[in-house]
Structure formats: structure tokens, C-alpha cells
Amino acid sequence: MTEIDARLREDVHQLGELLGHTISAQLGTAFLGKIERIRKGAKAARRGSAAGAEQLSTALDGLADDELLPVARAFNQFLNLANIAEQYHRVRRRGADEPEPFEARVLPDLLQRLRAGGHAPEALARQLGGLEIELVLTAHPTEVARRTLIQKYDAMSAQLAAQDHSDLSAAEREQVGQRLQRLIAEAWHTEEIRRSRPSPVDEAKWGFAVIEHSLWQAVPNFLRQADRALQAATGQRLPLEAAPIRFASWMGGDRDGNPNVTATVTREVLLLARWMAADLYLRDLEQLAAELSMQQASDELRARVGDSAEPYRSLLKQLRERLRATRAWAQDSLQGPVTPSAAVLQDNAALLEPLNLCYRSLHACGMGVIADGPLLDCLRRAVTFGLFLVRLDVRQDASRHTAALDEITDYLGLGRYAEWGEEARQGFLLAELDNRRPLLPTHFEPSAETAEVLATCREVAAAPAASLGSYVISMAGAPSDVLAVQLLLKEAGLQRPMRVVPLFETLADLDHAGPAIDRLLGLPGYRARLAGPQEVMIGYSDSAKDAGTTAAAWAQYRAQETLVQVCAGHGVELLLFHGRGGTVGRGGGPAHAAILSQPPGSVAGRFRTTEQGEMIRFKFGLPDVAEQNLNLYLAAVLEATLLPPPTPEPAWRELMDRLAADGVTAYRGVVREHPQFVEYFRQATPEQELGRLPLGSRPAKRRAGGVESLRAIPWIFAWTQTRLMLPAWLGWEYALCNALKRGEGELLGQMREHWPFFRTRIDMLEMVLAKADAAIARLYDERLVQSDLRRLGEHLRDLLSQAVAAVLGLTGQSQLLAHSPETLEFISVRNTYLDPLHLLQAELLARSRQRQDEADSPLEQALLVSVAGIAAGLRNTG
């Protein structure tokens, strides 16, 4: 097996050793010895040693109650330290003899390929500069680590970078070691688990912190790299106004099933974003004012500032005062409405104009080298983030709008909107949208729920257009769902177009997405209210929970194909918004491969996707890592636009239809139709306990009920903890085995070789199967599941082995991920620390269910720490 890079192994060893010193200092060498016996037993057991398995089991069984929590914390902390080392390894310094990582080469290589393929330099520059990629940061509750710990982990990564120099003196190296020891001690003595759930405003502040500490630095650096690559390939420069990647957020706007997100919260989050943006620009201006002390200036700049001895500082001082006024206004407005003074910046052009003027003047006076320093970085930030930092989306379930309109029509004596058919709804909504009079009298007194819907619409109407993204409608299924939101926004006083976006989530909704949008675009007057492209959101999480990933993936693909054709037929541009999660079961996977596997024509210079939970930290938490991921997004969207994948062959489509049909039958046969499934799920996984984990502000369930009532995140999260990973693969085993039985193996091989969509699905399936572990899942059954339900567990593990066999048969490998030995080694190393946590968690779950301890008891704390540790070790939660 390929060895992990020696430097990474050395970093992991160093961090582990320092953690050992910390544990020993607090709990003594005898306790550290127990940890080491557990670790060595797990390592030996993984290699097939019966003695090792016995040592592991005996050591864990011998733990006293007061030792459970520190043991769980020890293994949790080690897995987090391994993540830090691995993340830093991706961006570490490389010697002159080492190749650049793929993420750094991907854009330059692509541009050279495009030039060689005949794309003109000017057209390439125009296409790159005009890309519209938007990454939407969401507050889904999958970020297990507390923010205070994340900051300590980031500081540890910085120390790994500080020691990554061969010429450090012994004293310097010792100093770095002492800082690392101190940071690890700080982390060890900090509680891993929040005592209370974060509020939606807390979640938004966490999102702003990612921008402040990482993306604020990463974006201008990433754009510099793109500019250099473009110039090298084409001789063209990236325009100053180019912002190929921007950011939006659902934090404080996503009220679907979350009663804690109110109109008041949305208003507060919008104001906090303006405060943060102004504050960040003020920090930039402090630096610029210190550096731009030059006297020579263009006539254009002189005309603005007069005969100033320091013209650049004079102009920037004016902007600084306006930013201070903006920040103060945002701060005051948090207490209640305040009329902004004329000094408060309201339009991004007012922020950009003085910066651009300084930039042009410096270049005109032969000081381009100064202009292209921090001033250019500030300009790039102003174009990308603007005055509002991120554009806030609003999301609400379609049923809430239906209920509000039902109450309104009943009050007006028009009947019950909820009982009308689609044609009647459309007729009413279209007539009211064209009607100049208000729909509601001023004395209408709505119920609390309808009042909240109307209050949210008023906040949308009052907010500056540039501060908002889209209004997303969950569980949309018909044109009336879109028209209903447009009418409610009109009634709230919105006088500008806003993108109202249907989200098609279930299998049936995805199948009907194309016809629904076709009817919508054909409605009289709708096109006049359309702001830019028609945006449609594709749901990955709920469609996979509804039908399994086999059928869901194919339904998502076909829905996109149909939507491309429908919008082209109406002469309307299409923007597809991908509601992807961090895990395979929720549409997750490597972004670059996922984008290149979309249907041809679906990525036409535009791409919008969610970035969820812990994936935000893993992909954007450190500036260097963020730059790599931004490079991947930029290159993938450019390639998918200019070099789209081939249209699938008819035979591929027919086979995919059969795979999807078999997949949904097998998936629903277990999840929906097996009479013991729900009870088994609740006994075999920590699903019930996850509801007590204070991860996010949103409840784990939309409503009371079984699996169907669960949100996609705890559904995935629970199976991940036990390593069965069921939602990510269930259905594939039956679909692939049937295809192989029918003699379609050669056709499957062709699809995998020549069709990016199918290849990417199989690659993601292989990755999740490599992380699955039937032996671990069996341990949970043996400790937690009553005897009459265990046969179902055996059956599911048998299906898992069938899925593994089918993938190995398709790929021709003797073991999963044989083509990626380093990844296999990563998983192997982590298993040494994950195995004790799994065993410990199963025991803790059993004790917790017997005792019903208080939420803050040591046993409950240990259980929640084990959940966090397993999530960290697998780099996946929901």
C-alpha cells in the first residue's frame, strides 16, 4: 500500500504526541496508557488480530464511568488534529522539484487546451470574465465543531505552515512547537459541544466569520491567479469589473421548517452583513491610506480633490467617512428603523468609483505597480462582495404561501384558495397581479403564521435589491406556487422584479419540473415579471431520501435536460440552482467532477450551488484551501460551458432508465415497505439522540412522524455514525446486479468510460462504500437492537456486500479504491481512532437509553462527543 507522504505523517505524529502530553498533564500517565492500549488494540484488530480485538474490547469495558468522557474526547481531538494536518498538507510549501497540485494547474491547463482548440483570445477572456458562479452558504446543521475550536484549529494550521521551512533555527522550531502545544492544550480544555443551539443570527455570524477570516483574503488572490493564467494563455487581462464567483447565503433567510427564522431575524442579518462589509472595507482603507502617500495624480483625480498634497489620501478619506457613517447607521438600525443620512452608502457604484479613480490615476502616472497591489485587491473585493457582503436568499415552503392565500381569500369572501384546482388558482393570481388596487384592506388581521409570511415579504420589499438573492419555494410543484409568491411580494410593496425560484425536490416533482416551467413561461404577463434568467432549483437531498440515489440522480439529470429544452423553446435563459449537500446521499462529492458531469447545455456560463455545513469549513475555512476550491469551480464551469460533455447514447439512456426503476423499487422496498424498518432504524442508529445535539437552529424534523418526516440531514447523519451509509448506496446493489445478470456489463463499462455523469456516480458510490463498514454496523446491532429486528440488519449488511461486489465487478478492481491507494491509507489511519469511538458510542447509546440521563450529564456529553468525533473522522455528517 502507498505510504502517506512522510511530511504529513510527521505532522500527524507531532500533533498526536503534543495531545498526549496535554492529556498526561491533566489526567496522568496511567490514563494516557489506557488511551494507548485502546489505540494499539484497535490498530491490531484492524489488521485481523484476535488478540488486538480482545485488547480493545477489554480496555473499553474496563473504563470507569468518569473515564468515558475523557476517552471519547481524546479520540475526537486526535481525529480533528489529523484533519488539520491533512488540510494543511494540501496547501503546504512545495519544493522546486515537486509538481504543482491539480487545483493550481487546472485553470492554466484548461485555458491552454481551449486556445489549442481554436478559441480566440478575446472570446476566452470575455467568457471567463463574464462567468456567473454563485456559492450559497447555508446554515444546515452539519457543522459539529464550535466556532471557538475552529479558530484554534486554524491557528494550529498556521503553526504547521510556520515550521514548514528547512532553514529554521533550533530556537525558532522550538518556539513553533511551544505554540502548537499551547493551542492543543487550549483546545483540550475547551468543551467540544455547544450547551445550547445557535440562533439563526449566530449561524449568520459564523458565515460572516468565514468571509472575514478566509474568503476576504482568498478572493483577490484567486482572481490574481486567474488573471495570470488568462494573460499567459491569451495575452488578455481579467477586467476590473469581473466577479466570476460571488457568494450568497441562506443563514437568516431559510425559514423552511425553521420557526426560529422570522422577518425580524432576516432584517437583523441583512443589517449585520452591511455592518460587517463596511467594517472590512474600513480595514482595507486604513492600509491603503497608509500606503498611497504619493503626490503625483491625474487631472481627473485632481478635479475631485483639488490642490491636495496627498490626493489619494484625500479621496480615500472621503470614502472612509462614508463607510464609517454606513457602519454607524447599520449599528443604530439594529435597535429600530433609522433614516440613513446622505453619507450612508446605498449603491455599490459609490464604493467602487473612488477606488477606480485612484487605480486609473496611478496607472496614468506610471505607478501601475502600486495600483496593482492592495488597491487592486480592495477593488476586487468591492466588485465581489459589494456593500452587502453576501446576497441573502429567502426560502419558505409552498404550503405556507398556500395557507396564507387561503386565509386571505376566505376573509375576502372568495372561497378557499387551498381547495381550488390549479387553473382556478392561476386565474385568480394572474388577475390580482395585474390589478392596481391592493389585495388586502388595511384592517385585515391575519393569523400569526400568515402575519409572519406577510412580514417577511415586507422585509424583502424594503431591502435594497443588491442585498437579496432569490426567493426559493420548497416543495414547489406547479406554476401557481411561483405566482403566489409574486402576488404576496406585490402586496407587500415590492415594485422591482425578483427571482422567485421553484425548488423541485421529490422524484415526482423532478419528473414534472419541465412541464411546470413550460406552463409558467407560457402564462400571460409572466415574462414581463421575470428578472433575468429563469432560475430553477434542483433538490438533491429530499429526492434521494424519497427514491434513493440511483433514481434520484437520473431524475435530476433528466429534469435538467428538459428544463434546458423548455427554456430554449421559450427564448429564456436558464439558471440552475443545485441544492447539493456534503455527502453522497445528498448529492455531494467533488465539485469539479460533479459540474463536468451535468447535462450538456445546463451549465451555460452560469452555475449556482449550495455549500453546506461542515463543507464550508473544509473547503473555504482557510484562505489557501479556499483559493484551491475557487479555482476548481471556475475551471469546471468554464469547461462545462465551452467543452460540454457528450449527449448520452440512446442505449445508455435506456439502461439508466432500467437502473433507476430497479433502484427505486429496491430502495422503497426497504425504507417505505418493510414493516420493521422504522423501528430498526431508531434502535440501530443514534437518530433519536441526534435530536438532542445542539448543531443548528433548525428542528431535526419538519413534523411528527416516521422516516418521511425526517429532514435529509439527520437521516444521512444517523447512518453515517454507524458506518452502514445506507442512504448513499441502497438501490444501487439491486440495479447493478440486475444489469450484470442481464449481460449488460459491457454496456455499463462503456457508460463509465465515456459518460461523465455515470462515471461520477460510480466514483462517488465507490468512495462511500469504502467508508462503509459492515463489521462496525454489526456491533451497533449487537448492542442496541432487539433480537427480532436483527435479521433486518443482517439483510442490509448483505445488500451492502452486494453493492461492493457489483462496483468491483464494474471497475475490475480487487478492492475498492485500489486506484487511489493514498485515499485508502487515509481511511485506514483514521479507522484506528474511529473504531474505539464506534465501540464507545454503541455502549454509551445503550447506557443512555437505559438511564435516560440529563442532557448535561457526563454520559450524555461523552455520547455527543463521540458523535462529533466520528463526524470529524469521516469528514462527513449530513
Secondary structure letter of residue 861 according to DSSP: H
Q: Is 213 a catalytic residue?
A: no
Strands (E) located in 522-580 = 534-539, 574-579
Instruction: Kindly compute the dihedral angle of the four CA atoms of residues 187, 193, 195, 201, in this order, to the nearest 10 degrees.
Output: 90
| C-alpha–C-alpha distance, residues 649 and 4, integer Å | 40
| Cα–Cα distance, 70 to 769 (Å, whole number) | 31
Q: What is the DSSP letter of 725?
A: -
Residue of 34, 43, 140, 205 marked catalytic: 140
CA 817 to chain centre: 25
What nine digits make up the cell of 706? 416516521
CA 538, distance to chain mean position in Å, is: 15
Residues 6+ apart with CB under 8 A from 10: none
Q: What is the CA radius of gyration of the chain?
A: 28
d(CA 654, CA 751): 12
Identify which of 269, 291, 272 has the alpha carbon closest to the alpha carbon of residue 280: 272
Other Cβ atoms within 10 Å of 794 Cβ, number: 12
Catalytic residue among 545, 578, 771, 838: 545
How big is the CA angle at 79 (ends 77 and 82), to the nearest 5 degrees? 110
Instruction: Judge contact between 172 and 579, C-beta under 8 A.
Output: no
Nearest to 180 by CA among 377, 20, 357, 360: 20
Distance CA 762, CA 589 (A): 11
Closest to 60 in 3D by CA, of 27, 28, 38: 38
Cα gap 7→13, rounded to integer Å: 10
Tell me which residue of 88, 140, 79, 23 sits closest to 829, measured CA to CA. 79
Closest CA to 660 of 727, 732, 726, 712: 732
Residue type at 275? Answer: W
Spatial separation of the C-alpha atoms in residues 52 and 38, rounded to whole Å: 9
CA 243 – CA 223 distance, rounded (Å): 8
Strands (E), 507-586: 534-539, 574-579
Q: Quick count: other Cβ atoms within 10 Å of Cβ 607?
A: 26
> How far apart are the C-alpha atoms of 30 and 412, rounded to whole Å?
76
User: Distances in Å between the alpha carbon of 864 and those of 32, 820, 837?
Assistant: 22, 32, 11
Whole-angstrom Cα distance, residue 785 to residue 787?
6
Q: From start to end of 191-340, where are the E strands?
A: 245-249
Query: 10 Å Cβ neighbour count for 97?
Result: 5
* Cα 703 from Cα 842, distance rounded (Å): 27
φ and ψ at 132, to 5 degrees?
A: -125, 90
**DSSP states along 192-232:** SS-SSPPPHHHHHHHHHHHIIIIIHHHHHHHHHHHHHHHHH
CA 750 to chain centre: 32
Query: CB within 8 A of 195, min separation 6: which ones?
Result: 694, 856
**Which residue type occupies 219?**
V
Cell of 469: 438573492
In 3D, which of 756, 766, 767, 763 has the Cα closest to residue 602?
756
Specify whether 795 is catalytic. Answer: no
Q: Which residues have a catalytic role annotated?
A: 140, 545
